[in-house]
Amino acid sequence: MVERSACIGIQRRLPCADLFSCLTRYVFFITFRLKEPYIITTIPLLISKLYIDRQVAQLPQVASIRSRIDAPVVVVQNVQEVYDSLALSDDPIQKGKTVLFLTRNKGAFIKKCPGTRAYRCCNYQILHIGTFCTMDCSYCILQTYFHPPVLQYFVNHDDLFSELDNLFLKKNITRIGTGEFTDSMIWEMWTDLSNQLVSKFSEQFHTVLELKTKTTAIDGLKRLGHNRKTIVAWSLNTDRVIRNEEFHTASLSERLRAAAKCESWGYPLGFHFDPMFIYDGCEKEYREVVERLFSHVSSKNIVWISIGTFRFMPSLKSIIQKRFPESKIIYGEFIPGLDGKMRYFKPLRIELYRKMISWIRKYDPEIVIYFCMEDDEVWQKSMGFIPQDRGGLPKMLDTSAVSVCGLDVG
C-alpha cells in the first residue's frame, strides 16, 4: 500500500474524496513507487492558480487551456506580479510547479542550444515552447535558470509556426527539440501543440523534431501522420536514481514500454543517459538498464543515444541541500570544469563511459552514441576517436537522422 502519510498529504491537496477520479482538469501527477516489483499509482496534483498575461487573454489557445484547468484565474499586466506571488512561498521552486502562466514569447522561438567552447557541441536547435517542469528532479538545472522558476507556456503560436516555415524554406538538415527548458510532453493534458507540431514536421523532409520526456504522455501521438520526422526520446536512468532523485516521473519500466509503443506506431526513437551518477553498484545497474532498453526496442530504429555524467553549477548545491536533504548526489568526487560546472573527476567519467559504450555496442556496433558536453580527450579515451575524425559531431548526428528518419539531403 501507499504510505499513509503520503495519502494524507495528497488528500489535503485535493478537493475530492475519490483520488483516482477524472484527470482531464489536472496538469501533472505525483507517482508513488512501492516495493519492487514496482506498482505504479499515479495521483493528480492540482494547478493552484492560472495566471494570464493581459496581452494574450483573448487568444483562442488561452480559452482552450482555461476550459481544461479548474483553478482560479488571475489576469496580470506583467510577469512580475506572478514572480511576487511565488516569492512569498517557503519553497518558490515547488510553488512554481503548481502555478501556470500563459503569456507571449517575446523573443525567438527557435534558438541555438547554449553550448560552450570548452566542450564539443552538436549544433542542436531549441524550439522554445515554454519553461520549467511539473516533475521534480533533484538535479534539475532549471531550478537555477529562472528566478523564481515558474511554469510558463507561450501561446503566440502564429509566431512559432511562422518561424518554422522560414526554417523549412532553408532546406538545411536541422535537428530541433522542445525539451531543453521544459519536458516536451508535460503539456499534453491541456494543449494540442504536439499534435500540431508532429503534423507540421511531417510535411517537410529536411528537419527532424525531437520530443524528449520522462513521462508516458504519448497517447496523443498514436494516430498522427508523422512521416518519421518526429523522434520520440526518453531520458533514462537506473531504478535507484529514478526512485531517489526523479520525483513525479514515470518509472523506467513505464518509459521503456512507452518507447516500444511509439516504435510500434512507426516513430523513430532517441535515448539520453544524462545525467549518469557514480555510486556503489552503479555499473551493474546501468548495464541492466541497457539490457532492458534493447529488450524493448530495436536498435535499428534508434536515431541516437547520448551519454553524460552529472554536472552542476555551484549555485545548485545549496538548492539541492535545502529541497532534497536526503540526496547524496552532490557529495561525489567533483572538480570545477572548463565551463564552471562541477564535474566528476575525469578518469572516473571515462571509466564509466567506456563500459557504457561497450554495453551498448554489444547490441549494435553501428548505433550512434555521443557525449553531451565533453572534450576531445574524453572522446578519444572513451570512444576511440574524436568527432572531427568523422566530420564533426553535427555531421554524425545529421547523418543518422538522414538514415533513420528519411531526411532529404538534396
| pLDDT for the residue 22 | 38
Domain ranges of the chain: 4-45, 116-129+157-405
pLDDT at 6 over 70: no
Sign of CA dihedral 246, 249, 250, 256: negative
- Are 91 and 111 a contacting pair, CB within 8 Å? no
Grid look-up 504536439 returns 194
With CA atoms as reference, report the closest residue to 98 among 75, 76, 72, 80: 72
pLDDT at 19 over 50: no
Phi and psi at 29, nearest 5°, equal: -135, 150
Residue 20: in which H helix or E strand, if any? none
Give the domain 116-129+157-405 fold.
pyruvate-formate lyase- activating enzyme (3.80.30)
Q: What is the arithmetic mean of pLDDT over 135-139?
A: 96
pLDDT in tens, 56-85: 999 999 999 999 999 999 999 988 999 998
With CA atoms as reference, report the closest residue to 377 among 124, 120, 121, 117: 120
* Chain mean position to CA 40: 20
pLDDT at 386 over 50: yes
Sign of CA dihedral 308, 309, 314, 318: positive
Please list, in sequence order, all residues whose beta carbon lies within 8 angstroms of the beta carbon of residue 110, skipping any fewer than 6 positions away: 125, 126, 127, 128, 163, 164, 167, 176
Instruction: Report the alpha-carbon distance of residue 319 to residue 145 in Å, rounded.
Output: 12
pLDDT in tens, 261-284: 999 999 999 999 999 999 999 999
Classify 152 as helix, strand or coil. strand
Is the link from the previous residue into 15 a cis peptide, with omega within 30 of 0?
Answer: no
> Residue 368 is placed in which grid cell?
550512434
pTM summary value: 0.89
Please list, in sequence order, all residues whose beta carbon lies within 8 angstroms of the beta carbon of residue 178, skipping any fewer than 6 positions away: 126, 127, 128, 129, 184, 197, 209, 210, 211, 212
| pLDDT for the residue 118 | 66
